[in-house]
Structure 1
């Protein structure tokens, strides 16, 4: 009996510790952002959100995040396909390098882009001769977003390809379907949930990226100033309410994306 009671107490204490940890590190900061944004009332919040610089920063962030997500979907799907379907020297190394953006500090990623594509680099110098610049302009921001969100689509697609029943693919070929038709009607539908969830996670991550972007963006209002850098600038200017208001926009959008991801995964598990 004492053993059972101790087990129950241990289980209750463990659950309570986990819940307390979750509340302190996740719930309270989120509540703090929302309360800080509305601390002065609805009118100042609306003024902060509709400020021209803030709105332009948010719209630019969404636009560039969409561009980076589309590129990640195309590249990530192809890379995931190659890593699962083909065997070649260095495959395991390449597969392990996919997760490098998760382990590498984002500021280091931004520095790498700056060194490789900056005005003094070979690529940057060639681009300058052709009449366009990469670093401190939108292309560099997109590249930084692609770098930090690179693994999401790949890791979303790979498990689905591994689980794919090859007998369905072989049956399609036996019935006379071409490789293209088999891919579009048999393989691609199986990959689609992973592509969608990976794309949404990549988009949500790109919205909030700061470390890699701040080093390569020109931070010109209306042109290269993105939302995360704008928020940082507002905090430095001691306008925490304005920074929190813009943060709420990004946070709410991320919540909607997270809900959509969970819905896609739930439908996939329900099949």
Structure 2
């Protein structure tokens, strides 16, 4: 009886549950990605060059990759500060601040885009202050970056927060007792421990920003060669019945997102290997 209990499965019907879960994942996730990959592979080199070589496509790709990269960098820095404040300090409204971090997850992206546009438009509460100095936020690149920071910030905060909670203060206090300054403690003690989570949050925010549509579409302005993002251009190509062009652009974004996922999984191993080498 004791042996049977010891080897009992953690869930009833574990094999069936695993099979159903894997099948559902294959139908919902793997099958569409496989279909896109097969269709993209069938374009051939000429089809790819013709679709990606379009100046309008190149302008959209440059804007999307550049804005997503900048937004991920800002989200990683601001997310680190927010996570530090939420974990290390106790103050009135701390729980509210912690809950607001998840707001971009719960808020529909279209609603977020409309709200950001209303705030940063030239006649908005914040936008009019910059418009007086001929600075345009909405319907320009800064508005796109702000929208991508908004949706990418939770990834950075939630990735860093559990690491900070387990880090504790012992190492900082030991460094201070040995005469290390605050900057030295930050550089030699805190940052190395947070770096894997920081890079993971950056990669997640970048991957999310590449494919973001709803929160950006309203604030971007969608001017070709200026503020037209790549996901919108995919929709335009489909409306023009240019399916090969849409597939080529979508496949390029898929490869970029997949590369980010590979980087997320490789970052901890590379950093741990570097620590062993240094040791």
**C-alpha contact 1:34 1:248 (8 A) present in aligned 2:** yes
Query: Could you say if the C-alpha distance between residues 23 and 187 of structure 1 is closer, same or farther in structure 2, counting changes exceeding 3 Å?
Result: same
SS in 2 for 1:223: coil
Residue in 1 aligned with 2:19? 16
Measure, in 2, the Cα distance between the counterparts of 1:147 and 1:117: 13
Residue in 2 aligned with 1:176? 179
SS in 1 for 2:219: coil
Measure, in 2, the Cα distance between the counterparts of 1:80 and 1:166: 15
Offset from partner CA, 1:117-174 (integer Å, 9 cap, x none)? 1122122222221112111110110111011111111111111111114222111111
Offset from partner CA, 1:81-119 (integer Å, 9 cap, x none)? 111111100001100110110111111110110111112
Measure, in 2, the Cα distance between the counterparts of 1:258 and 1:190: 21
Q: Shift of the alpha carbon at 1:268? A: 6.9
1:82 paired residue among 82, 85, 88: 85
Residue in 2 aligned with 1:93? 96
Measure, in 1, the Cα distance between the counterparts of 2:74 and 2:16: 46
Residue in 2 aligned with 1:221? 224
Measure, in 2, the Cα distance between the counterparts of 1:198 and 1:187: 16
Point out 4+ residue stretches in structure 1 off by more than 6 angstroms.
268-271
Offset from partner CA, 1:36-60 (integer Å, 9 cap, x none)? 2344433223211222111221111
Q: Shift of the alpha carbon at 1:266? A: 4.6
2:211 paired residue among 208, 212, 215: 208
1:103 paired residue among 101, 106, 130: 106
Compute the TM-score of the two structures, normalised by the length of structure 2: 0.90
Measure, in 1, the Cα distance between the counterparts of 2:53 and 2:78: 35
**C-alpha contact 2:121 2:138 (8 A) present in aligned 1:** yes
Residue in 2 aligned with 1:135? 138
The residue correspondences of 1:40-189 to structure 2 (distance < 5 A) are: 40-189=43-192
1:251 paired residue among 235, 250, 254: 254
Measure, in 2, the Cα distance between the counterparts of 1:205 and 1:23: 21
Measure, in 2, the Cα distance between the counterparts of 1:20 and 1:68: 36
Q: Shift of the alpha carbon at 1:212? A: 0.7
Residue in 2 aligned with 1:191? 194
Measure, in 1, the Cα distance between the counterparts of 2:177 and 2:245: 62
Measure, in 2, the Cα distance between the counterparts of 1:31 and 1:42: 19
SS in 2 for 1:216: helix
Q: Which runs of 5+ in 2 are unaligned?
A: none
Q: Which runs of 5+ in 1 are unaligned?
A: none
Aligned length: 267
Compute the TM-score of the two structures, normalised by the length of structure 1: 0.92
**C-alpha contact 1:39 1:241 (8 A) present in aligned 2:** no
Measure, in 2, the Cα distance between the counterparts of 1:93 and 1:127: 29
**C-alpha contact 1:37 1:242 (8 A) present in aligned 2:** no
Structure 1 window deviating more from structure 2 (92-101 vs 119-128): it is 119-128
